A and B are shown apart, each in its own frame.
Chain A
Amino acid sequence: MNPLTFLSTTGGVFMTFLTATGRLSLFTFSALYHAVTPPFYPRLIVQQMISIGYFSLPVVGLTAIFTGMVLALQSYTGFSRFSAESAIPNVVVLSITRELGPVLAGLMVAGRVGAAMAAEIGTMRVTEQIDALVTLSTNPFKYLVGPRLIAGVTMLPILVLIADVIGILGGYLVSVYKLGFNPTTYLINTWNFFEVEDLNSGLIKAAVFGFIISLLGCYNGYNSRGGAQGVGAATTTAVVTASILILCSDYFLTELLFSQ
């Protein structure tokens, strides 16, 4: 291959990457600024909180209960080899509160809510509803993006808190009814292993994931182009990029939160 072609291709890809990062950064700053400055739209904030929080409960609850159940089952298989079955409550409570609660809830909500946001805002973009907002003297960042960001950041921690409880319950059910643990001992062990810092770290992660989901849902919808196909592409991109960013930021947040 001609070395110049190679260079120009590499440069092109790099430039595209920089442009995309720059655009997302600008969007993020605008979104943050407008989310915290008036006018606020309480009606829309509540509406988004219900759509993110309440309507995600079934999917998040189901994910949590089966995760807790499988955790108990898997760790039993592993630990019984060392006769360390008593560590099961520990494994369940630690993994759920620190990791699996926030990450799995984040991924499920990204699929459900991030996609819906991108589709809704994308449709508004291609049908000129966003332009119409502007001509009616309303800032789309304040009206569309702000409420979604606020709802994402506040509702994800609440969802994760519920997921934590349901996940731990799932582990309890399998341990007691299938593996024959003593219910009282199991509960006491769970309580002893439970750490408020673990819970808090999970909730902080959840808030960050909620921000990522809403931000990318809005960003991809807002910048969608070209009819139904463009909206479809925006939806896919919103879910994929949010999921990847959740997993990446999870690692760095873990490093940050447990570095002491």
Chain B
Amino acid sequence: MTDKQNMIEVRGLHKAFGHKKVLTGVDLNVGVGESLVVIGGSGTGKSVLIKNILGLLKPDEGSIMINGEETVGMSAKERLRIMKKFGMLFQGGALFDSLKVWENIAFALIQSLRMPRMEAKDIAMEKLAMVGLDPEVGELEPAELSGGMQKRVGLARAIATQPEIIFFDEPTTGLDPIMGDVINDLIINCVRDLGATALSITHDMASARKIADRIAMIYEGKIIWVGPVADIDNSGNEYVDQFIHGKAEGPIKMAVRG
């Protein structure tokens, strides 16, 4: 059975909002311990795909297996058990602005694992150091942080409970190239240290090349190409070629209004 090797297995995933069909039959596998990056233009449904897998959105149709277990139609209680395997870094960081930085990082430890606050704080400070931030940052409010620091704190929060699967939604978008690369390195290190499976989405090719074992491209609601990162320049797929070289000419037509 291939189920044993796949941590995430998506089959025939459909999702529409009203008349707008966003996903129209996505098939995708992510192996245990693998780092898969989904690339695609803005508004092609990358975030929607990740949110369906996380259970934040309900698929209209299709199957999503996590570690061999069907998650579509799961009860709330089962869902909670699966959720504990996940860590997620949101596009904008999504830090809780009513809480201090360390409380953000320790959130799941305190609220979900019911750890004493001081013990959780120690772990939070450890994770803060892992993402290269000074201990003083722990006492700040998220609003006092720069974009790059917010991403780092978001990453520290995502890995605080040592998840088996980590999701990254556009981890480098909105950062300067150097900070972007710092985040890439942190992602690679964190995923490797945890031995976690990673599913990332991005339109930043430099980031994709760096953090991916395999790359998949999403276009018009489907995965149109998947392959090892080494093959991306010889994909033989004109859509992929157009995207990675960022050319306006080609088969991909940008909708002027999304």
Contacts and interface: CB of A to CB of B under 8 A. Distances in A.
Interface in B77-128: 80, 83-84, 86-88, 90-92, 94-98, 107-108, 111-112
A41 B98 CA distance: 15
Interface string B8-37: 000000000000000000000000000000
Nearest to A137: B112
A136 B108 contact: yes
A131 B90 contact: yes
Contacts, number: 53
Given A135-B56, A138-B112, A128 B94 contact: yes
Contacts of A132: 88, 90, 94-96
B107 A138 contact: yes
A241 to B, nearest CB: 24
A128 B111 CA distance: 18
B156 interface: no
A135 B107 contact: no
Interface residues of B, number: 23
Interface in A108-143: 120, 123-124, 127-129, 131-138, 143
A127 B92 CA distance: 7
Interface residues of A, number: 17
Contact of B92 (A128, A136, A137, A143): A128
Given A127-B92, A128-B91, A129-B96, A135 B54 contact: yes
Contacts of A138: 107-108, 111-112
Contacts of B94: 127-129, 131-132
A132 B51 CA distance: 11
Contact of A135 (B87, B96, B97): B87
Interface of A: 39, 41, 120, 123-124, 127-129, 131-138, 143
Interface of B: 51, 54-56, 80, 83-84, 86-88, 90-92, 94-98, 107-108, 111-112, 157
